[in-house]
Structure 1
Amino acid sequence: MIHTGDDYTHPVGPEMNFNESMYFQFYDPEQRLGGFLRLANRPNEGVGERTVCLYLPDGTLAFGYARPQVHGNDAMMAAGLAIEVAEPMHKLRVTFVGDVSMLADPRSMIDPKRAMSTSPTVDCSVALEYNALTPAHEQTFDGDGAAFAPNHYEQLATVRGRISVGPKSFMVNGHGLRDHSWGPRSWQAPWFYRWLHGSSATRGFMVAYFGDPDGTSRRGGFVFDDGRLHPCVDVEISTERDDDDYQRTVLVIAHGEARSWRFDGVALSSVPLRHRSVDGSAHTRIVESAVRWRCSDELELHGMAEYLDQIQDGRPVGQSV
């Protein structure tokens, strides 16, 4: 059971891959501006992970990644990104000051070293305030084997603030989702997963599907509707892919105790990211897509579709979902 104190950092566990991470997604439909920021502490490894990913209105991508030195877990602050808990479980502030690469083609991140070394860099600043729209939803999707996110909750929020990228500045007034997890994490632990979410002022959702090599799966999430959260008892996901095996359209049917909801998503922009195992033997691909969702009553939401797959024989393993 989570409590308000869980919005802060936690004691470091003995696991070498102990990870504490916070993720903040947002979208402003008036500005047609969205993206996410993520910061992770991995103190027993001495490093962190910092990602800034902004989908700009003209279709370009502002992207920054760093692996700063991290030797403790007292605060979420590294490589220019800082997270302040102003009121636990209700109000958090996210700020970033640093450089980002400007990518004309977000898919060029399939070769990140080349994409970022050949793209211009500009100054970037972010100052966003997240105010809770719903209570936090707690659910772990860990199964047998290596852990991925044993302690985990998510929350829909209103998002307001300002973003500057080079000479351009935007006032943000939108909605989004924040995610907080801690404990041992291996990016190679899931065989594949689908993590999908969207939000607006009156409705939102987060669903996840973790698939295993034997065909079993763990599914869950929530839908925010009628002013309250409805935990999911089952989730159905169907994906249409493009020639790069990236998600093009996604159909989600989220089943609650008493009713079901349908969300039809279209990927607006996709960024391929990757993680390699420590010994370099395993290759994990994560495709981050900004998505426009439509409900059955035509209400429009915006959010993300994150598809993680282990790669075998050059192909992602989760083609069935």
Structure 2
Amino acid sequence: MPVSDRYVMRPEHEFMHAPDSSPNFNESVYTNGFDSATRFGGWMRLGNRVNEGYAELSVCLYLPDGRIACQFLRPEITSNDRFDAGGLRYTVDEPLKSVSMHYDGDLIIVDDPDALRDPKQLLAHGPRLKGRVSWQHQAESPIHGGEPAHDGVQTMYGRDFSLGHFNQHGRVRGTIEVGDKRWTLDGRGWRDHSWGPRYWQVIYYYRLFIANFPNGDAMMLLKITDKTGKVRREGVLLVDGVYEDILDLDVQTDWTEKQDPRFVRLGVMTANRKVRIDGEIMTLAPLRNRRKAGDETLVSRIAEGFTRFRWGDQEGLGMTEYIERIEDGKLVGYPL
């Protein structure tokens, strides 16, 4: 079914896609959920890279006491017939309306997020507790994205990063258990699903902002820049259950001494409105992705910030994600 004049979305896109011959074929799902009353939550991602024989497993939880509980693994897989690896499982309960994600396994407890900047020691010897995460997403919005309707349409992050991509905001309910602590999550969140060849280092740099607000409104905003300096602005505001495509997006960032985003000011324009949205990054996980390319090691910074956003009189929770290549020791997008 057409989602717009730009994308086509079929119910079968909710399920697995046949891998092509690309060595870096990826099919991935991501969900997040945050509870505004308790101010906690997190995100989980599973990316099948079947032609490389493994999945990328990521679990990152922002706990009420300010600590991070996380896990990053590359469990072996031999097929792309399901999302189920390393203790993380994703199921489609009702296509285009409801999905669930569950994790059962160890979590690394991070008292100081700076330890994630060079995580080798932390991942090998960091303190661990038994963890269990289970939540369900129920749609509060239409689907945004899908397969491009024609060759002139980009996917959200570009066709060299995914051939198809869709996302959706919704209600999130579930539980998070870390050691002997247990929290009930009753909030909102966002999910996406993408497929096609992917290397993280294809992204030169981007700034992504995702949030839900107590009145049911929400946002997904992306500013992405390629190596030539060409900029695309993509995304939507969700207002009264209807997505409004953005026409323009301004991003201003206040930075820490370590060149991490600390506060963002967003100016957003759709055909129906112009709004200002501010975001305070409360806890940031400074992650990295590395890939060998011949004799060279390509490195990208992936900054995952748990963020409190304000849009008018509404205060919501979500994520600020800054991804960029690191070249000659420098972040290519800083200070933009």
**TM superposition score normalised by structure 1:** 0.96
> SS in structure 1 opposite 2:292?
coil
How far is the alpha carbon of 1:226 from its aligned partner?
2.6
> SS in structure 2 opposite 1:278?
strand
* 2:210 pairs with 1:197: yes
Give the corresponding residue for 1:109.
116
Unaligned runs of 5+ in 1: none
Distance (Å, rounded) in 2 between the aligned partners of 1:56 and 1:141: 30
CA RMSD in angstroms comes to 1.3
Residue by residue, what CA displacement relative to the aligned partner does 1:132-154 show, whole Å, maximum 9, x if unpaired?
A: 010111171355xx811231111
Contact 2:140 2:241 in 1 (8 A): no
Give the corresponding residue for 2:162.
149
> SS in structure 2 opposite 1:115?
helix
**Of 307, 311, 318, the match for 2:333:** 318
> SS in structure 2 opposite 1:302?
strand
> SS in structure 2 opposite 1:114?
helix
**Of 174, 177, 188, the match for 1:161:** 174
How far is the alpha carbon of 1:97 from its aligned partner?
0.4
**Of 227, 250, 258, the match for 2:241:** 227
Give the corresponding residue for 2:44.
37
* 2:139 pairs with 1:132: yes
**Of 269, 272, 280, the match for 1:255:** 269
Give the corresponding residue for 2:305.
289
Give the corresponding residue for 1:265.
279
Whichever residue aligns with residue 82 of structure 1, its letter is R
- Give identity over the alignment, percent: 35
Distance (Å, rounded) in 2 between the aligned partners of 1:113 and 1:67: 14
Residue by residue, what CA displacement relative to the aligned partner does 1:243-273 show, whole Å, maximum 9, x if unpaired?
A: 1110000112221123222210000001111
Distance (Å, rounded) in 2 between the aligned partners of 1:66 and 1:317: 27
* 2:18 pairs with 1:3: no
* 2:225 pairs with 1:218: no
**Of 176, 199, 221, the match for 1:207:** 221
> SS in structure 2 opposite 1:255?
strand
Give the corresponding residue for 1:81.
88
Distance (Å, rounded) in 2 between the aligned partners of 1:254 and 1:13: 37
Whichever residue aligns with residue 213 of structure 2, its letter is S
Residue by residue, what CA displacement relative to the aligned partner does 1:20-53 show, whole Å, maximum 9, x if unpaired?
A: 0000111102222111000000001111100010
Contact 1:276 1:284 in 2 (8 A): yes
Give the corresponding residue for 2:3.
none
Contact 2:11 2:95 in 1 (8 A): yes
Q: Higher mean Cα deviation, 116-125 or 62-71? A: 116-125
4+ aligned runs moved over 3 Å, structure 1: none
Give the corresponding residue for 1:309.
324
Residue by residue, what CA displacement relative to the aligned partner does 1:137-193 show, whole Å, maximum 9, x if unpaired?
A: 1171355xx811231111001000111100000111000000111001111111101
> SS in structure 1 opposite 2:96?
coil
Whichever residue aligns with residue 185 of structure 1, its letter is R
Distance (Å, rounded) in 2 between the aligned partners of 1:142 and 1:288: 17
Distance (Å, rounded) in 2 between the aligned partners of 1:31 and 1:166: 18
Contact 2:116 2:286 in 1 (8 A): yes
How far is the alpha carbon of 1:320 from its aligned partner?
4.3
Distance (Å, rounded) in 2 between the aligned partners of 1:261 and 1:197: 15
Contact 2:265 2:276 in 1 (8 A): yes
Contact 2:26 2:195 in 1 (8 A): yes
> SS in structure 2 opposite 1:44?
helix
**Of 279, 282, 288, the match for 1:274:** 288
Give the corresponding residue for 1:20.
27
Give the corresponding residue for 2:253.
239
> SS in structure 1 opposite 2:202?
coil
Residue by residue, what CA displacement relative to the aligned partner does 1:40-80 show, whole Å, maximum 9, x if unpaired?
A: 00001111100010000111110101101112111001000
Contact 2:27 2:47 in 1 (8 A): yes
Alpha carbons of structure 1 residues 224 and 142: separation in structure 2 relative to 1, 3 Å: closer
| Structure 2 counterparts to residues 47-86 of structure 1, below 5 A | 47-86=54-93
How far is the alpha carbon of 1:116 from its aligned partner?
2.6
